[in-house]
Amino acid sequence: MKVLTVIGARPQFIKAAPLSKALAAIGIEEVLLHTGQHFDANMSQDFFEELGIPKPQYQLNISGLSHAAMTGRMMEAIEEVLQKEQPQMVIVFGDTNSTLAGALAAKKIGIPVAHIEAGMRSNLEYQVEEINRVLSDRISNLLFVSSPSAKANLKAEGYAEERIIESGDIMLDLFNEQAPQLGAPKIADLPARFALLTLHRQENVDDPKILKAWIEALNKLSEEIALVIPLHPRTKSKLAALDLKLKAHFIEPCAHNEILGLIKASSIVVTDSGGLQKEAYFCQKPCLTLREATEWVELVDAGLNKLCHPDNLVEHYKELIQKDLSYPSFYGNGQAAAIIARSIYDYLSAS
């Protein structure tokens, strides 16, 4: 059996690590294709080395383009690889342009698709990630869901029960593996008490008016608690272009275990990332999400995560930081990779 796995961004590297091991353990050959969507060394190659992911057999180096151009060029290049390798299934993760390109390229030439982290919905139709995840779900043969709410979304949209598999969240697999080794972050002058901040989504940083509003709000928050930010290349360029000054402790983009160490050492996480919302939950840290909606609705419903806009960021911080929070189980038992690998094996055996 042979599958081709498409990855291209930090969260997908994290999800691919446990799955690659599980596929190998069950006897499925994996061809790994990296689109190059994240090109920064600390956000790409270092992750492969740290997480023990096999070196990709294919590296497309496609990045820095418009969404349409990026997705189109990825599809064209992925199709060539598929025709050469002839895998029996293509595996995609999450909601990036790489996800959609991989799913479309495979489906158009008759190769089944498995979508990991299916069924997530923010219900923001304009959001690129929402478009990618909805379309990828629609054309996938196997839909692996991280949570009961994701399954409920798919059932409400009319998906057949036999296509939906409750695997749990594959990021929990890796977290459980790395958690015992997490130590204090080795970062100079790290504040004793701080909020870990990430800011990179296009809806927050591409519009100058919106970015200025967030910087003003974050500077007000910095009067309450120190901010530590691994600065994303996208955000760095936008801040420089607008000459905006963020009052924060700036660090370089981090390896995955360093990010987890920072979350663990922080008092609270402030982010517009999907993955960090979950990792904050895994580390039992409260989270302020700089978005009007999130696909991780169960964390908001449980009061562990608050959706923020610039006008209420400080208010929500003061409210959340004072609460005594509990962290119920939402995302399975940390065996998602094994469940996914076995389900793919069974599907291909029956084909």
Active site residues: 200
Q: What is the pLDDT of residues 86-120, one digit of tens each?
A: 999 999 999 999 999 999 999 999 999 999 999 99
Task: Tell whether 24 and 163 lie within a shared domain.
Answer: yes
Task: Tell whether 155 and 193 lie within a shared domain.
Answer: no
- Average pLDDT score over residue span 306-333: 96
Compute how many other C-beta atoms are within 10 angstroms of the C-beta atom of residue 37: 25
Question: Cα Rg for the chain, rounded, in angstroms?
Answer: 20
Task: Tell whether 126 and 161 lie within a shared domain.
Answer: yes
* 202-207, Cβ contacts within 8 angstroms, sequence gap of 24 or more: 202/128, 202/234, 203/127, 203/291, 204/272, 204/290, 204/291, 205/234, 205/235, 205/238, 206/238
Using alpha carbons, list the distances in angstroms from residue 227 to 236, 262, 269: 16, 12, 10
Q: What is the pLDDT of residues 166-219, one digit of tens each?
A: 999 999 999 999 898 887 788 878 999 999 999 988 889 889 999 999 999 999
**Can you give the pLDDT at residue 216?**
97
Task: Tell whether 11 and 121 lie within a shared domain.
Answer: yes
Residue 203 near residue 127 (C-beta atoms within 8 A): yes
Q: What is the pLDDT of residues 135-174, one digit of tens each?
A: 999 999 999 999 999 999 999 999 999 999 999 999 999 9
> How many domains does the structure of the chain reveal?
2
Least confident of 40-49, 75-84, 115-124, 166-175: 40-49
Let me know if residue 174 belongs to a domain: no
Task: Tell whether 8 and 105 lie within a shared domain.
Answer: yes
Task: Tell whether 104 and 204 lie within a shared domain.
Answer: no
**Can you give the pLDDT at residue 40?**
53
Let me know if residue 176 belongs to a domain: no
- Average pLDDT score over residue span 312-319: 98
CA nearest to 22, candidates 38, 3, 7: 3
Residue 332 exposure: Cα atoms within 13 Å on the Cβ side: 27
Task: Tell whether 152 and 243 lie within a shared domain.
Answer: no
Question: Residue 37 is part of a domain; what is its CATH number?
Answer: 3.40.50.2000
Give SS3 for 35.
Answer: coil
The mean predicted confidence, pLDDT, of the chain is 92
Percent of the chain with pLDDT over 90: 77
pLDDT(326) > 80: yes
Residue 139 backbone zone (phi > 0: left; psi -120 to 50: alpha; other: beta): alpha
Which is more confidently placed, 61 or 348? 348
The per-residue DSSP string of 254-266 comes to: --HHHHHHHHHHS
Enter the tokens of residue 269. 């996480």
Rounded Cα–Cα distance for residues 233 and 92 (Å): 25
**Domain membership of residue 195 as a residue range:** 181-321
Q: What is the pLDDT of residues 250-290, one digit of tens each?
A: 998 888 888 999 999 999 999 998 889 999 999 999 999 99
Residue 7 burial class via C-beta count within 10 angstroms: exposed 0-12, middle 13-18, buried 19 and up: buried
Task: Tell whether 150 and 62 lie within a shared domain.
Answer: yes
Task: Tell whether 123 and 187 lie within a shared domain.
Answer: no
Let me know if residue 94 belongs to a domain: yes
Task: Tell whether 340 and 206 lie within a shared domain.
Answer: no
Task: Tell whether 22 and 154 lie within a shared domain.
Answer: yes
pTM over 0.75: yes
Task: Tell whether 224 and 342 lie within a shared domain.
Answer: no
Let me know if residue 327 belongs to a domain: no
